[in-house]
A and B are shown apart, each in its own frame.
Chain A
Amino acid sequence: MKISYKWLIELTGLDWNPEELGDRLTLCGTACEYIEPADQYMQSVIVGEILAINKIEGADKIRLATVNLGERQLDVVCGAPNIEVGLKVPVATLGAKLDGGIVIKKAKIRGIESEAMICSERELGLSDEHAGILVIDSSATPGQELSELLGYKDDFMLTFELTPNRPDSMSAVGIARDMAALASIKVNKPQFELTESNEKASDYIKVAIEDKTACPRYAARIIKNVTIGESPYWLKKKLILSGIRPISNVVDITNLVMLELGQPLHAFDYDRFGSKEVVVRMAKEKEHFKSLDGADHELTPEVLLITNGKDAVAAGGVMGGFDSEVESDTKNILLEAAYFNASMIRKSRRQLGFVTESSQRFEKGADPNIIEYAIDYAASLMQSLCGGEVLSGIVDCYPNIIEPLKIKFRPKRCNDIIGTELSSDKMKQIFEDLEFSVTGDSDFEVTVPTFRPDIEREIDLIEEISRIIGFENIPASNTNIGSLYTPIHYEDKFKKETRTVLTSVGFDEFISHGLADSKLANILHTERPQLNIANPISEDLNIMRNCLLQTALTVIHHNVSHRSLDLSIFEIGKTYLPPDEKDYWAEDESLVLAVTGNTQHTWREKPRPRDFYDITGAMEALAEHFGWGEFSFSPKEFSFFEKEISFEVLLQGKVCGLIGKINPKVAKKAGIKQDVFAAELNFDYLLSLSNKLIAFKELPIYPAALRDLAMIVKEDIKAGELIQQVKKSAGKIAESVEIFDLYQGKQIEKGKKSIAISISYRSKDSSLEISQVDAAQKKVVDSLVKNFNVEIRDK
């Protein structure tokens, strides 16, 4: 909301400069966001008197005006049709920066030197009017600054960012009230005189409210014989600096009163109203209404209407109707001041699809009891500025009077909550400065005026005290509250350690938001249901992911398309499913690992493709860190993996994930043209395993005997099977069994491979005899030959 600085000063009589005013209001909750000079488009614009007008040879539309600028005379080229000798006009001189980006510089127009411009209202930022130049009151002195003449000099346009709970500050008086409370003074509310004629308004209009919840109060006045015209400058200025376009004196007055008091008003053309009766009711299904802007609306029963008993003449609290609009020939005014239910107006304007100054005020909560004052103030202005005759009486339909709320307030409670030691008297003073009335001594009963509908409870009153004394005056305590010991949850520790292990083996962490594309999900876990977003922001973010593989592919796609081809990445994150039949909403955590591209190329190490074993290596690092034991892999087809490299992952006998090489067709659909290997593990399961305490194992006393064994086996025999067999045959003394060479190529028969194993034999009780080792080794060899038909090399 925008408001003129001078207006606030006028209402309070305070001498705060604009910055001080902005800062102080901000610190009490009425945030002042911007302060702009009101005369920004009027600098170097001065009053000129037209002395002569001459034709310019060869030009029809433009003429040369000689203007008296007080101390000098200037010839100005002007295209406006309405210039006349003797008129006083605004002249923008060198350096002026006008609205619309026009800057006045020396220029030649049709061979004539020109260094000034006669302005229309639009160029001065006063209105959209640009058909002719602005004609200034004849009493103005040539050479006078325009901003001074019109009152813009030293004024500022203040922009306030208001919180939704403060409808009262949507008016000049409302903001002034906060200023007054801060300074402990009273607001100078507008004073006016109103003379009523002998005719009674009630003879001209009746009011009936059908829906008293939607419209608790509707008041009307009749003003006869107005002369529609322009408003005076002071009035236009107040509207302009609030961002409201002046239209005509009658409409401008309704807007001025709304800006000043926060009460929206509406002026109907009485003669076009269509009847002598106002009926307030909800719209009928499919009823039509033509709004001020000429648009036709088909309504639903959610829209509140002002009718003439038959047809809609206004959408109550939102916008007036086209047919009863005040026009230049309007003579008699039906002036409306009403109080509408906030949520009703919100529904209405949503249905109609627009927000207006009026609807904004009603939907936040207006004041039902300011209506007489507001309507009288507007009527008095119509009397003095439009020559109207105000008929006697307000036709006021207010069946159930809304009383101010009385709230119990304990000063001690207030101090207990905000942490201060304010006296009861100080609190009482603050309430009175806010125009609340207070009775009682130790505990108060505070009467809250109806312009503060946000205050309903003691805590709301406590907030008022805290914001008026200022949060900066509440001390900051320097002791800690709470228990002596704060646990770190194992889950957090586990996640942190997982990240440390994975980054230490070269994996980068990525984070996803979880919104994903159903098209990609459809080719991954096809059997898994998807949780759809009801109102997605775009087609490719239309579900919550049901696996992490999907987001890993998305991240790889992004990187590969930016030429980062070599990646090892992981994420710990949630997957989502629709609720099951028991309405359980699964949000399980997974760990995804993915690799693609090559390993790093350095001066001593040649790159090789990242593959399956880079992932299992990282998994082994985790298993080792957390003491899980070994992962095992059991072949299982997944449609999104390549058939040959597609496994379930088992740990401690339980399936806990999957691993494989992404099927190139799937990768291609994800926009990736290189090999991708990935594993997705059930993180919650891993977490459940991971609280193992490490127990120290005594260091060996007796030496180990190392034996190597190279053999040729059929290529489909798995290294793991051989190792299992070796361990089984060698018995307890096999301390470790490792693969140290693997070869498949020209030297070996096709369909076979060479594997070399290193076995470490050790006993913890004694030095092993050679014969013991030989015997064990023989058992190993025999069992390998027997079970796997291996051919031992280099015996």
Chain B
Amino acid sequence: MSVLDKITQLQEEALERIGKADSLDSLNDIQIAYLGRKGLITSVLKSLKDLPNDQRKEVGASANKARAALDNLIKEKKENFSGGKKLSAFDPTLPGTQTQSGVVHIITQVIEDICNTFHGMGFEIARGPNVETDYYNFEALNFPPDHPARDMQDTMFVEHDRLLRTHTTPVQSRFLETHKPPIKIITPGICFRNEAISTRSHVAFHQVDGFVVDEGVTMADMKGAILAFCKAFFSEDVKLKFRPSFFPFTEPSAEVDISCFLCSGKGCRVCKYAGWLEILGCGMIDPNVLEKAGIDSERYTGYAFGMGVERPAMLKYKINDIRLFFNNDTRFLRQFK
């Protein structure tokens, strides 16, 4: 076997062992065995002086090449074992390539959440115009002619004797006129009030109203449905408090408080240490409202409820300024991806 062949053999042998090496120690052993002071490749180099002149150069080059190759490979492999240093210059930490997607407005998201929950309970979505008549917005809903809500300071009017609806409840008046019970509807949409714009109040806001009309609908059904919604939308262990209240279109009427979902009712800044959050108004549809729509109020009864969208969204996401919703600042919108 020529010296050159021997070098080749040694190199292949070493390569195989490096390939199989499974620890830093075994690599060290291989390094000593081939490249150490008394190593096999080292000894070939040491024996160069014994070779004839014409072979010395070629063998020397080959042995040095083998030595360098093995040395590099061992170093590289050692890095592998010595605590995760990189194998190569490839940089996986550069940001991944994304097609930048947009974001659905947070109000759309919350309305969708609310509607999905009610859809699961069998409610159908209905909509109506934003520019309304006094009849559907007030009269059909049993507002007395000189009710303060009809004042200029509360209602925004447009020319030609119409108004911007002050709630989405007029959809109820319209729907009742054109449909026969059983009816089970929710009405998401925008409403307007003649209010100065501030961090807490806005000239426009969204609302989701709902109502059910059928034979034998009771307040117990209303409580059950509202409880089911609040459990699904807020949390399974939510508690409800129904307080008698007044709305012209329902009788009896109630305000519903839910136990604060931020502090579980223990009291915090958001619930003003009351442990309760006012979230919803509801009641049994006033017989006058049914009769005005041509529905026999002796035979049919119903309940209605209504809730804001911005307020629960503000509570849920700790948003402190209602104006953010309509400013459409993308720095705000993109937080709700």
Interface residues of A (CB under 8 A from B): 26-29, 31, 163-166, 343, 346, 416-420, 457, 459-460, 462-463, 466-467, 471-472, 474-483, 486-489, 492, 496, 499, 502-515, 531-537, 541, 544, 555, 558-559, 562, 564, 567-570, 574, 576, 578-579, 585, 587, 600, 602-604
Q: Is A481 within 8 A of B105, CB to CB? A: no
Whether the pair A535, B157 counts as a contact (CB closer than 8 A) is: yes
Within the complex, the shortest CB–CB distance from B22 to chain A, in Å, comes to 37
With known contacts A537-B196, A587-B129, A479–B224 Cβ distance under 8 A: yes
| A578 proximity list for chain B (CB < 8 A) | 159-160
Q: Give the docked Cα–Cα distance between A472 and B145 (Å).
A: 33
Q: Are B158 and A532 interface neighbours, CB within 8 A?
A: yes
Residues of A within 8 A of B97 (CB): 602, 604
**B52 close to chain A: CB less than 8 A:** no
**Assembly CA distance A509 to B104 (angstroms):** 5
Closest beta carbon of chain A to B286's beta carbon, Å: 7
User: What are 14 A-B pairs at a CB distance below 8 A?
Assistant: A27-B241, A27-B243, A343-B146, A463-B253, A471-B243, A474-B220, A505-B101, A510-B105, A513-B192, A513-B326, A534-B158, A558-B327, A558-B328, A578-B160
Measured CB to CB, the nearest residue on chain B to A165 is B246
CA distance A511 to B325 in the complex (A): 8
Say yes or no for B270: interface residue by CB 8 A criterion. no
Q: How far is the CA of A251 from the CA of B265 in the complex (A)?
A: 46
In the complex, whether B3 has a CB less than 8 A from a CB of chain A is no
A607 to B301, CA, bound (A): 62
Q: Which residues between 50 and 69 of chain B lie within 8 Å of chain A, taking CB atoms?
A: none
Answer yes or no: B190 CB below 8 A from chain A CBs: yes
Further contacts, 9 of them, CB under 8 A, given A509-B103, A537-B194, A559-B329: A29-B246, A416-B218, A418-B220, A499-B104, A505-B102, A508-B334, A537-B197, A587-B130, A602-B97
Residues in chain B near residue A602, CB distance under 8 A: 95, 97
List A contacts of B100 (CB < 8 A). Answer: 506, 600
Central interface residue in B101, B107, B287, by most chain A CB within 10 Å: B101
> Taking the nearest CB of chain B, how far is it from the CB of A474, in angstroms?
5
Q: Counting CB contacts under 8 A, is B177 at the interface?
A: no
- The residue of chain A having its C-beta at the shortest distance from the C-beta of B227 within the complex is A476
Task: Find chain A residues with CB under 8 A from B131 CB.
Answer: 531, 544, 576, 585, 587
In the complex the two chains form, what is the Cα distance from A559 to B123 in whole Å? 38
- Which residue of A471, A532, A579 is within 8 Å of B244 (Cβ)? A471
- Known A481-B212, A534-B159; contact A463-B196, beta-carbon cutoff 8 A: no
Looking at chain B's contact residues, is the secondary structure mostly helix, strand, loop, or mixed? mixed
B 98-138 to A, binary, CB cutoff 8 A, 1 in contact else 0? 01111111011000100100010111110001110000000
CA distance A509 to B182 in the complex (A): 36
Q: Which residue of B lies closest to A554 (CB)?
A: B328
CB neighbours of A481 from chain B (8 A): 122, 182, 184, 212, 214, 217, 221
Q: Does B19 sit at the interface, judged by CB under 8 A?
A: no
Knowing A460-B251, A510-B105, A555-B328 are in contact, say whether A477-B112 is a contact too (CB < 8 A).
no
Residue of B nearest to A618 (CB): B102
The answer to whether B204 and A515 touch across the interface, beta carbons within 8 angstroms, is yes
Instruction: Report the nearest B residue to A454, measured CB to CB.
Output: B246
CB-based contact A541/B146 at 8 Å: no
Is A564 a contact of B221 with CB atoms below 8 Å? no
Give the A-B contact count at a CB cut-off of 8 A: 228
Q: A476, A506, A537 — which one has the most chain B CB atoms within 10 A of its CB?
A: A476
Contacts of B219 in A (CB 8 A): 417-419, 466, 471, 474
Q: In whole angstroms, how far apart are the Cα atoms of A532 and B157 in the complex?
A: 9
B220 touches A511 (CB 8 A): no
Residues of B within 8 A of A533 (CB): 156-159, 164
Q: Which of B107, B129, B287 contacts A585 (CB 8 A)?
A: B129
Min C-beta distance of B157 to chain A, whole Å: 4
Report the minimum CB–CB distance from B100 to chain A (whole Å).
Answer: 5
Question: B292-331: which residues lie under 8 A (CB-CB) from chain A?
Answer: 301, 325-331
Q: Which residue of A lies closest to B191 (CB)?
A: A513
**Inter-chain contact A419/B105, CB cutoff 8 Å:** no
Q: Does A474 lie within 8 Å of B223, measured CB to CB?
A: yes
The reply to whether A562 and B331 form a contact with Cβ atoms under 8 Å apart is yes
Contact A507 B122, CB 8 Å, known A513-B203, A585-B162:
no
- Chain B residues near A466: list those with CB within 8 A: 219, 244, 252
Q: A255 vs B107: C-alpha distance in the bound complex, in angstroms?
A: 49
A533 to B156, CA, bound (A): 7
Residues of the B chain whose Cβ atoms lie less than 8 Å from the Cβ of A479: 224
Given contacts A513-B326, A562-B329, contact A503 B104 (CB under 8 A): yes
Q: Does B245 contact A (CB under 8 A)?
A: yes
Chain B 208-238, CB within 8 Å of chain A: the 1/0 string? 0000101011111101110100000000000
- Are B301 and A417 in touch, CB under 8 angstroms? yes
Interface core residue of A471, A492, A506 (most chain B CB under 10 Å): A471
What is the CB-to-nearest-CB distance from B164 to chain A, in angstroms, rounded to a whole number?
Answer: 8
Q: Does B218 lie within 8 Å of A579, measured CB to CB?
A: no
- Chain B hits for A163, CB < 8 A: 245-246
Give the nearest-CB partner of A166 in chain B: B246
Contact of A419 among B112, B125, B162, B221 (CB under 8 A): B221
In the complex the two chains form, is A482's CB within 8 Å of B184's CB?
A: yes
Task: Report the minimum CB–CB distance from B310 to chain A (whole Å).
Answer: 11
Which chain A residues border B108 with CB–CB below 8 Å? 499, 509, 511
Q: Is the CB of B252 within 8 A of A418?
A: yes
B254 close to chain A: CB less than 8 A: yes
Cross-chain contact of B218 among A417, A569, A604 (Cβ < 8 A): A417
Q: In the bound complex, do residue A492 and residue B328 qualify as a contact, i.e. CB atoms below 8 Å apart?
A: no
Knowing A27-B243, A533-B156, A533-B158 touch, does A462 contact B221 (C-beta < 8 A)? Answer: no
Is A489 a contact of B220 with CB atoms below 8 Å? no
Residues of chain B with a CB closer than 8 A to A504's CB? 99, 101-102
Known: A487-B124, A507-B102, A558-B329. A28 touches B221 (CB 8 A): no
Which residues of the other chain, B, contact A164 by a CB distance below 8 angstroms?
148, 246
A755-B219 Cα distance, complex, nearest whole Å: 72
CB within 8 Å for A537 and B158 given contacts A509-B108, A511-B326? no
* CB–CB A532/B218 < 8 A: no
**Cα of A506 to Cα of B327 in the assembled complex, Å:** 20
Do A603 and B94 have beta carbons less than 8 Å apart?
A: yes
Complex formed: what's the CA distance from A460 to B283 in Å?
13
B33 at the interface (CB under 8 A from A): no
- Is B195 part of the binding interface, using a Cβ–Cβ cutoff of 8 Å? yes
Residues of B within 8 A of A568 (CB): 102
Query: Is there contact, CB below 8 Å, between A476 and B102?
Result: no
Q: Give bound CA distance, A603 to B93, whole Å.
A: 12
- Cβ 8 A contact of A471, one of B122, B130, B184, B242: B242
Q: Is the CB of B328 within 8 A of A511?
A: yes
Q: Considering only CB atoms, which chain B residue lies closest to A536 in the complex?
A: B156
- Once A479-B224, A483-B182, A506-B102 are accepted as A-B contacts, the answer to whether A564 and B244 lie under 8 Å apart by CB is no
- Nearest-neighbour CB distance to chain B for A659, whole angstroms, equals 19
- The 10 A-B pairs of least Cβ separation, nearest first, read A419-B220, A419-B218, A29-B244, A513-B204, A163-B246, A471-B242, A477-B224, A463-B252, A510-B328, A476-B223
B156 and A483 within 8 A (CB)? no
Give, as a whole number of angstroms, the nearest-CB distance from B229 to chain A. Answer: 12
Question: How far, in Å, is A550 (CB) from chain B's closest CB?
Answer: 13
Contact check: which of B101, B156, B224 meets A506 at CB < 8 Å?
Answer: B101
Residue among A28, A486, A567, A579 with max Cβ neighbours from chain B (10 Å)? A486
CA of A770 to CA of B219 in the docked complex: distance in angstroms? 80
> Which chain B positions have C-beta within 8 A of A487?
124
Contact A482–B220 (Cβ < 8 Å): no
The reply to whether A503 and B102 form a contact with Cβ atoms under 8 Å apart is yes
Q: CB-CB < 8 A to A508: which residues of B? A: 102-103, 330, 333-334
Chain B nearest CB from A752 CB (Å) reads 34
Tell me which residues across on chain B come within 8 A of A534, comparing CB atoms: 156-159
**Is B244 a contact partner of A27 (Cβ separation < 8 A)?**
yes
Assess A488 versus B159: contact at CB under 8 Å? Given A27-B244, A576-B131.
Answer: no
Q: Let me know if B101 and A503 touch, CB within 8 A.
A: yes
Q: Check if A564 sits within 8 Å of B331, measured CB to CB.
A: yes
Interchain CB contact (< 8 A) of A514 among B103, B157, B190, B220: B190
